């Protein structure tokens, strides 16, 4: 797999791996811990070297899983994790990006990940009670101390990105972006291009919908976050099926999968975009890695880019409670 460069010269594989679903958000895991360790290590075998986790995933257990799996391969991988929540009794109870909390999380994440340095440390959500300048300054201190290499933001607004970057260079922004979630295009992507900041789209496959594996008959298991998202009601899934059908038809013509087309479209947007699809299956690792070899013509990219407007997307990407944590 070829590599791409995010901000501040951080080079990573063109497609990374979002690890959250191995521990939460998508219902019971069909595999054991040993199975997930095998999946993580297989990703490295397929050329993936960029792994995304967070303290709050689990909480804690996802970092521990990633740390155990990748400790023997540490010199071959880039580890990204996140801070920004208060966690009590195993649940996040609100935002917390106070400097002392950032430092506490950094130390705990270093232990969980079994490493002496965090390659990319994101603020998971912008905390309105803590000036972003204080956040950037604290992460900058951790970088100066050698505990962190790069600073990132997630779901941050253009203004927040500019203010943070003025204090300490931001390496990457992580936010939702896909064929059916186009929010970053108008205000965010131009700012990232201007400032030389990389972009790491999460849910690049529309939480599974763009792969064609989630249809109107899907029955979400207990604990599956999609059951709480308006876009995944049965009515909205039916309305959005036309978009997936179009992607599937192009995939068949290209001898690719719908998921590969969705990832190839993202890769075609900018050379500093690195999607992080999640999976719990080795076969999907191979499929997602293969998206880097799918060539889309300029006309095909333009046609896909117009899909959301031409066909329409039904349902919001978050419910109101989830949306409250997005910086706008």
Q: Structure tokens of 37?
A: 């360790």
Collect all residues with Cβ–Cβ distance below 8 Å to 118 and sequence separation of at least 6: 79, 80, 81, 106, 109, 110, 147, 148, 149
Q: Which of 255, 122, 245, 227 is nearest to 179 (CA)?
A: 245
Q: Structure tokens of 225?
A: 């976050």
Of 26, 57, 122, 177, which residue is the catalytic one?
57
Parallel, antiparallel, or unpaired: how do β-strands 11-13 and 3-5 relate?
antiparallel
Euclidean distance between CA atoms 139 and 151, whole angstroms? 7
Angle between helical axes of 298-305 and 234-254 (0-180°, round to 10):
180
Whether residue 177 lies in the annotated active site: no
User: Is residue 93 within a helix (H) or strand (E), and if so which, with residue range?
Assistant: strand 91-95
Collect all residues with Cβ–Cβ distance below 8 Å to 213 and sequence separation of at least 6: none
Euclidean distance between CA atoms 113 and 136, whole angstroms? 22
Q: Which residues are catalytic, by number?
A: 57
């Amino acid at each position: 797999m070829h590599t791409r460069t995010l901000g501040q010269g951080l080079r990573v594989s063109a497609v990374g791996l979002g690890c959250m679903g191995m521990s939460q958000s998508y219902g019971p895991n069909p595999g054991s811990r040993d199975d997930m360790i095998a999946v993580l290590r297989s990703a490295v075998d397929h050329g993936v070297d960029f792994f995304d986790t967070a303290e709050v995933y689990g909480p804690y257990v996802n970092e521990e899983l990633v740390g155990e799996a990748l400790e023997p391969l540490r010199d071959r991988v880039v580890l990204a994790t996140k801070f920004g929540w208060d966690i009590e009794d195993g649940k996040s109870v609100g935002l917390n990006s106070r400097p002392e909390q950032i430092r506490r999380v950094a130390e705990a994440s270093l232990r969980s990940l079994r490493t002496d340095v965090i390659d990319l440390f994101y603020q998971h959500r912008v905390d309105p009670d803590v000036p972003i300048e204080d956040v950037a300054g604290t992460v900058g201190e951790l970088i100066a101390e050698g505990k962190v290499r790069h600073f990132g933001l997630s779901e941050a607004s253009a203004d927040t990105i500019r203010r943070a970057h003025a204090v300490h260079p931001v390496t990457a922004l992580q936010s939702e972006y896909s064929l059916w979630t186009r929010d970053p295009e108008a205000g965010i992507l131009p700012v990232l291009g201007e400032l030389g900041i990389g972009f790491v789209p999460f849910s690049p496959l529309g939480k599974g919908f763009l792969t064609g594996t989630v249809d109107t008959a899907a029955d979400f298991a207990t604990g599956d976050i999609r059951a709480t998202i308006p876009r995944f009601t049965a009515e909205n899934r039916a309305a959005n099926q036309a978009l997936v059908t179009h992607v599937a038809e192009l995939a068949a013509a290209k001898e690719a999968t719908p998921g590969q087309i969705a990832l190839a479209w993202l890769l075609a947007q900018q050379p500093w975009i690195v999607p992080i699809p999640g999976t719990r299956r080795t076969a999907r690792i191979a499929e997602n890695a293969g998206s880097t070899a799918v060539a889309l013509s300029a006309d095909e990219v333009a046609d896909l880019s117009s899909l959301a407007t031409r066909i329409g997307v039904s349902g919001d990407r978050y419910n109101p409670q989830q949306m409250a944590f997005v910086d706008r």
